[in-house]
Structure 1
Amino acid sequence: MFTIFIVTSAFLVLLTVAPLLPSDHWMVRAWEFPRLQIAGLLILNLVAMGALYHQNLMYMALLISVNLAALAYQIHWILPYTPLVPVMVKKIKSADPKRSIKIINANVLMTNHDAPKLIKLVEQEQPHILVTLESNQWWQDALKPLHEAYPYRVNYPLENLYGMHVFSRLPLSQITTAERVEKGVPSVHCVALLESGEQVKCHFVHPAPPSPTENEEATERDIELLGLAKEIAKYDGEGSLPVIVSGDLNDVAWSPTTQAFLRISGLCDPRIGRGAFNTFHAQHRLARWPLDHVFHSDDFELVNLSRLPEIGSDHFPLLTEICLK
């Protein structure tokens, strides 16, 4: 029994320290994602040791200490995404609808053809902006029923899982599309005009993840995210526009890269102090983490933040409504 606990503890500690290795390889960086799951396994391991083993107490105490240290390290990363810490973005008591913007961020999964689910959800929630990711020409055609309600659109259909579409009820200007870091991996940048007449700078992004089927390393993703963060940091100053960044970042909220993105850009994460709002994987309850994000400048307060029902994709849509202070 003691040998079993040594093996399980060594395995969980290895998963905990793996992201600390000086490597961008997906086999290292992937373990930044399941911190919630690893923390849960560490708790189960500690409970099992306490319940099932009562010999060699000195060695067991050492093993328990190692597990507790690993658990504390995992909690250090995920604690901000629980209600146990103060919120970063205050909730507004009475929002002015003309100064509010509601965004649905939806990774539709290119091979998913259940477009009516998404259309029904959009008609129900009435967002100002819908951002679809992994949307190809099939999805562009399937979402034509939304055109009348969303006359301002940006189409970037691709067949490589990185197509992107923006549907907006708000007028859009200064629209640019770019494949900033990788060919075939676009982002969309524009200015949205609120009903109040105020402008908001919007960035919609979907960098490729580190994985055995995509990029072997996280380098390209990190370059795109941190490059955007540095660009946003230059906006700061009198007369600068409020900023929103939305998309599937293929990175979890608690990763060092996302934390560096927030620190450099100066943007806020409305999930901090509220919850993780895990959007992936929609079909696997025990393997979920927050991949879809909406960050914003300190000009906003929160109206609503919620994970929406599934739409046949491997991602849940994320709804964020914020209002200018």
Structure 2
Amino acid sequence: MWIIYTILALLLVVFTILPTIQHSHWVFRVPEFAKIQVTYLIFFTFLLGLFINTTEPIWYYQGFLLVLFIYHGHTLIRYTPLYPVKKHKQRHKSSEKLHFISANVYQFNKEYEKFCTLIQKYNPDFFMTMESNGDWEKAMRPLEEKYPYQHKVTLENTYGMHFYSRVEIKSARTHYFVADDIPSIEVHMKTGDGFSFVFFGVHPPPPSPTEEETSKERDGDLLSTAQCVKDIKKPVIVVGDFNNVAWSRSSVLFRKTSHLIDPRIGHSFVSTFHAKYRLLRFPIDLMFHSEDIFIKELKTLENFGSDHLPVYCEFFIDHHNDEQEELVETATAEEKAEAEKIIEEGKEEDGDRQSVVTED
């Protein structure tokens, strides 16, 4: 048992140290996804140490594990109801409540009917799909009668995006910030009660041994979106499969550069991937919003066959409530320079993607 305990303790140290090294290679970036699991494993290993009889100085190890637990817990507690945040009531000057669904459908998932049934069940005002190709577009055509406003980017490389809305779309465009095969969408909308807002949908490539070797394109794409968003004067929501976690360095830079708020703080992790493995589920489908957008509910919905759980959000817009201003953080001069450098590195990176991808 002592050997198992020692191996676990050493692995936990490695998984704690690697993400602190600001290198773009996936070896350093992937471990930060598992901060929740690492924290649980630290606690389990600490409990295991209480039952070990050995002549080794185990209390040194136990003390070190306790320090690691506090280190990770200090970050994670912000994304739980234990972290105090102000609750906001909807007032008569605000917009009507709106709700949407964001879903990475997984291009090779053939459970089209399950997804359409989910949309019909929750009846969102608008919804976005990622990894949606020509087959998915065809499968979603029956929904178009109810959602007459659309913006479609149909691709076969697992980066297609489709947006459907009952709320009027005033204008829409597709951005290709760092690569000509990785789209982001910008949709300007106006509600029936006269409130205008902007919806951004993003889905950058992940750093992983099977996809991109580094996080350069991901981070460059996200920070390009952040720079675009910060100059928009309307209420803004940015949603999508970020292939990133909220506590990573690049996510913090995104939040500060865009001047947006992370609604998970004081709420919950809202973990989405992998949908089939609860113990290995990471919160990588993120959302950020401007200070005049107020979140009523943010949660995952049931699995419809994808490797991601869909995200459901209910919100309202209130231009007269300034209670969220204090939640907005802005980047320092050094952080702005860092963001610019990351964007340039992302544009220079040549991702190895095919125009058509087949499932292995």
Q: TM-score, normalised by structure 1?
A: 0.93
SS of 1:286 mapped into structure 2: helix
1:173 offset after TM fit, Å?
Answer: 2.2
1:81-126 deviations in Å (ceiling 9; x for gaps): 11110236x3435688953321100100000011111111111211
Distance 1:93 1:54, change over 3 A: farther
Runs of 4+ displaced beyond 4 Å? 93-98
In structure 2, the partner of 1:294 is 287
Q: Structure 2 stretches of 5 or more lacking a match?
A: 319-360
In structure 1, distance between residues paired with 2:190 and 2:2: 64
Letter in 2 for 1:77: T
In structure 2, the partner of 1:174 is 171
In structure 2, distance between residues paired with 1:192 and 1:157: 21
- The answer to whether the 8 A contact 1:92-1:302 is kept is no
In structure 1, distance between residues paired with 2:184 and 2:43: 40
Q: Structure 1 stretches of 5 or more lacking a match?
A: none
2:297 aligned with 1:304, yes or no?
A: yes
Equivalent in 131, 135, 144 of residue 132 of structure 2: 135
Q: TM-score, normalised by structure 2?
A: 0.84
Equivalent in 155, 159, 164 of residue 156 of structure 2: 159
2:179 aligned with 1:186, yes or no?
A: no
2:45 aligned with 1:48, yes or no?
A: no
Percent identity between the two aligned chains: 36
SS of 1:76 mapped into structure 2: helix
Distance 1:99 1:279, change over 3 A: same
SS of 1:202 mapped into structure 2: strand
Distance 1:5 1:296, change over 3 A: same
In structure 2, the partner of 1:220 is 217
Map residues 1-325 of structure 1 onto 2, 5 A cutoff.
Answer: 1-53=1-53, 55-56=55-56, 59-87=57-85, 90-93=87-90, 98-235=95-232, 240-325=233-318
Bigger Cα displacement from structure 2, 90-99 vs 248-257:
90-99
1:46-90 deviations in Å (ceiling 9; x for gaps): 00001223534xx212111221122222212211111110236x3
In structure 2, distance between residues paired with 1:165 and 1:48: 48
Calculate the aligned-residue CA RMSD, in Å: 1.7
Letter in 1 for 2:202: V
In structure 2, distance between residues paired with 1:312 and 1:260: 33
- The answer to whether the 8 A contact 1:157-1:163 is kept is yes
Number of residue pairs matched?
318
- The answer to whether the 8 A contact 1:248-1:291 is kept is yes
In structure 1, distance between residues paired with 2:214 and 2:194: 43
In structure 2, distance between residues paired with 1:306 and 1:225: 22
Bigger Cα displacement from structure 2, 293-302 vs 214-223:
293-302
In structure 1, distance between residues paired with 2:90 and 2:175: 38
In structure 1, distance between residues paired with 2:22 and 2:313: 35
In structure 1, the partner of 2:357 is none
1:233 offset after TM fit, Å?
Answer: 2.2
1:13-32 deviations in Å (ceiling 9; x for gaps): 11111111231101110001
In structure 2, distance between residues paired with 1:39 and 1:28: 17
